[in-house]
Structure 1
Amino acid sequence: MRLYYVAVLGAIASAANVNAVSLADQPQAAIVGTLPIDATTNRLLRTHYTDEERAFGLNLLPGGKKISSIITDKKLSKYLKSNQEIDDVFTKLKLNTAGEKLFENPKFLAWAQYVDDFNQKHQAQNSMLPTLVRQYGGDDLSIMLEKAKQADKTYGVALRLQGEQMKLWRREGLTTDKLFSIYKLDDGAKNLLENPGLKIWTRYADEFNPGEATTLFKKLQKTYSDEALSQILIKGKTVSSTEKLASDLQNQQLRHWLDTLQPPENVFKLLSLNKGADDVLGSPQLQTWIRYNAAFAKQNPYAHKATLIDTLLENYGTASMVSMLKTRPNTAYGKHLASGVERDLIKRWVSAGKSLEFVTGKLGTTSPSKKEFVEGLYHKYKRLPTAA
């Protein structure tokens, strides 16, 4: 497994500074657009490559002879002797049907060796990238490369090939806005953060962006409303593979809301905490809101102070609040919040002159221990000079 990584990556890196020749010498060598926006007018790759692009060929692969157990030297030699085009050999090895597993396929290394041998024989510098684009199309290839980056075995070769593809996009003036649309990152899907195109866009924006500098959060903020983006991030935090990214983006969103003086009452709704009475006290988003509320109060000491009890009552009313308290959250933090809300609610009722019977009846104190607890709080607040 390590041999595969070292062989392919080493060969790619060693070829970075060689001179190139035009693809025009190859029969039917036109390169179609990598990411079809409009099949008739918007191609993202030219029909020929510059010297720098052509330099992405292969020199002799270290350990290349090891592949003979998979594809015999005899067969490769036969192809080379008859001057089989590298595209044809790619197809003969059935790499055109390998799909997402292309870069894990041992035959890919055999083909890479053939590309190098072919170049040496013909004093050419054919790159792997044009063939890959022709066979899979630029958009599918870019997704394949991104997925290949997730495995240690194929990370190196995928990273390098992806970088070469992005250099082509940059030379063509492909904007980050257009790339965002190509990968359908603006379609409003709640599982947006799982789209592999998002990582592709992020790398392109960070390393190859031909236009004005931007960040993923700025682009998402520009594309989606506060509420829509919040929903995307909430969804992303429930998926292990996107949880960290979603949390980072949500922190940036909270910072933006603080900077624009977004009231905690509004943020409560933006986090969709007004839409889930059954589990709101156990919701991770409620913890997020509590953090935001504390930060807002600290940053704006003279602003109206929002409290959890007031915000819950405003959005749910007393009946729903009581129902929440009867269905306690499963988490320790949720139970802690529920106890605090219950205490505040009892204090409100005492302050409003409600009787003990009213309080115990509302809270449904069926067990002796629960009844004793509620009665104790009731009398405690009753003895206070003011229950406010």
Structure 2
Amino acid sequence: MLVAAKEASTTRRFATQLEEVQLANWLASKQTADDVFKLLKLDDEGVKLFKDPVFTTWVSYATKLDGNKSDALMFSVLKARYDDDVLANMFIVAKETRSTQKIAAKQETLLLAKWADDGKTADEAFKLLNLDTKTDDFLKSPALDSWESYVKLLGEDPFKLILATLTARYTDEGLARMLVVATKDHIPRYVVVGLEGALFNKWQDQEKSVESVFKLLNLNKAGDKILESPMLRTWASYVTKLDTKKPYEAMFSVLKTRYGDEVLTNMLIVAAKSGSTNYHVTRLEGVLLKTWVSDGKTADDIFKLLRLDKDGDQLFESPAFDMWVSYVTKLEGQNPDKLMLSVLKTHYKSGKLENMIIAAQNVPDTKTFAV
């Protein structure tokens, strides 16, 4: 009745006063925290304990009994009634509710400290938190956060241990795919980054090369769609860890060996237009352009290599045209337009070129260049 009255604005003040009187009576009669727990019939609540409206009354009484050590007092009462796995689950669930989040977090901290004092291993805690029963939704479990806290309490690397657990169930390629999906699946970023870092460290310890991880991720089976593969980001991240100065040069070398200049160039052109892997494609394209510069390729050489001399009136609409513009700009940063125009004049008569430029001014995708 008091609980209901405290929730109504018209009776809240009166109900609170009555509760204070009740707490004072219990104190006067020397009721223990355990006694009041029973009086409030909280014994019957089980894992729903924190949801019981009178739970807050018990918390208030425990605080009055021993303000400085009320959390420890409450924990001792709960520990005497529930097994560790039940307590752990109770605290995890209660942390998801704003009104009980703070007290549940404190109780969980005490539970984890007790486990550490009892000498429980990270693996034992893993099982107590029922994480060993999780399969596909392992990374989504709120218990994972609790286990991570315990492993850190032990002074160990939680992500290395999580990786060891997952490795027993999944191949490295399967793990990498799981992490790619996790980035889109509302899994906390720190978990994904931590696990990916642990996976990369494992590969480094095993001395896996740029080429071997390329195959491990099955990118060698992606065909000409490789630059659209979600695994490209994982490969790029690992290569960057191996070669922090020139990661994309290392990637380009593998791709060039596998596909050859012409096919790789066409793949980059198509991928750049799709925009699906824009950052990595742009970096790889940059390596390609630098390679052409190093090889002494002229603007006209690349114009022909990209077969732009075969596009006729559709030149400005060709997907390869943007790459050529980028190359000419790299060659002649001060006045690329002049160089481009000189090349175009060798392939088109003046009247035809003028008509193409005028037509391009009316097309949004080519207007910028044509103007």
Structure 2 residue 130 is the aligned partner of structure 1 residue 180: no
**1:67, 1:171 → 2: CA distance?**
45
- The structure with the largest helix share of the pair is 2
Aligned mate of 2:251, from 271, 291, 307: 307
Aligned to 1:369: 316
Aligned to 1:143: 89
The 1:376/1:115 distance shift into structure 2, 3 A limit, reads closer
The one-letter code matched in structure 1 to 2:141 is N
SS at 1:330 equivalent: coil
The 1:358/1:180 distance shift into structure 2, 3 A limit, reads same
**1:163, 1:359 → 2: CA distance?**
64
Aligned to 1:91: 41
TM-score where L is the length of structure 1: 0.54
The one-letter code matched in structure 1 to 2:181 is K
Aligned mate of 1:217, from 159, 164, 175: 159
Superposed, which structure 2 residues align to 1:232-251 within 5 Å? 232-251=178-197
Aligned to 1:10: none
The 1:227/1:276 distance shift into structure 2, 3 A limit, reads same
Structure 2 residue 287 is the aligned partner of structure 1 residue 287: no
The 1:97/1:264 distance shift into structure 2, 3 A limit, reads closer
The 1:114/1:263 distance shift into structure 2, 3 A limit, reads same
Which has the bigger relative contact order, CA under 8 A and spacing at least 6? 1
Of all paired residues, the percent bearing the same amino acid is 21
The 1:239/1:335 distance shift into structure 2, 3 A limit, reads same
Q: What's the offset of the Cα at 1:253?
A: 3.0
SS at 2:41 equivalent: helix
Q: What's the offset of the Cα at 1:258?
A: 3.2
The 1:365/1:319 distance shift into structure 2, 3 A limit, reads farther
Aligned mate of 2:58, from 111, 114, 120: 111
Q: What's the offset of the Cα at 1:226?
A: 3.7
The 1:149/1:126 distance shift into structure 2, 3 A limit, reads closer
**2:263, 2:133 → 1: CA distance?**
38
- Matched-pair contact (CA < 8 Å) for 2:256–2:264: no
* Per-residue CA distance 1:38-92 (angstroms, 9 max, x = gap): xxxxxxxxxxxxxxxxxxxxxxxxxxx9894397456667878696933423436
Q: What's the offset of the Cα at 1:265?
A: 1.9
Q: What's the offset of the Cα at 1:372?
A: 8.2
Q: What's the offset of the Cα at 1:181?
A: 3.1
* Per-residue CA distance 1:254-298 (angstroms, 9 max, x = gap): 244334421112223444545666975355642342243244346
Q: What's the offset of the Cα at 1:111?
A: 1.1
TM-score where L is the length of structure 2: 0.56
The 1:204/1:265 distance shift into structure 2, 3 A limit, reads same
The 1:330/1:95 distance shift into structure 2, 3 A limit, reads same
Structure 2 residue 211 is the aligned partner of structure 1 residue 265: yes
- Matched-pair contact (CA < 8 Å) for 2:227–2:277: no
**2:160, 2:213 → 1: CA distance?**
19
Q: Runs of 5+ in structure 1 lacking a partner?
A: 1-64, 351-355, 381-388
Aligned to 1:35: none
* Per-residue CA distance 1:358-385 (angstroms, 9 max, x = gap): 9869x999954244846996xx9xxxxx
Aligned to 2:111: 165
- RMSD of equivalent CA atoms: 5.5
Aligned to 1:132: 78
Greater mean alpha carbon deviation, residues 239-248 or residues 72-81: 72-81
Q: What's the offset of the Cα at 1:312?
A: 8.1
**1:187, 1:265 → 2: CA distance?**
36
Aligned to 2:336: none
The 1:161/1:306 distance shift into structure 2, 3 A limit, reads same
The one-letter code matched in structure 1 to 2:41 is T
**1:198, 1:374 → 2: CA distance?**
50
The 1:141/1:70 distance shift into structure 2, 3 A limit, reads farther
Aligned to 2:340: none
Q: What's the offset of the Cα at 1:110?
A: 0.6
The 1:295/1:174 distance shift into structure 2, 3 A limit, reads closer
* Per-residue CA distance 1:297-338 (angstroms, 9 max, x = gap): 46999xxx84337448849xx999968864623354255368
SS at 1:160 equivalent: helix
What is the count of residue pairs matched by the alignment?
295
- Matched-pair contact (CA < 8 Å) for 1:67–1:110: no
The 1:155/1:364 distance shift into structure 2, 3 A limit, reads farther
- Matched-pair contact (CA < 8 Å) for 2:139–2:187: no
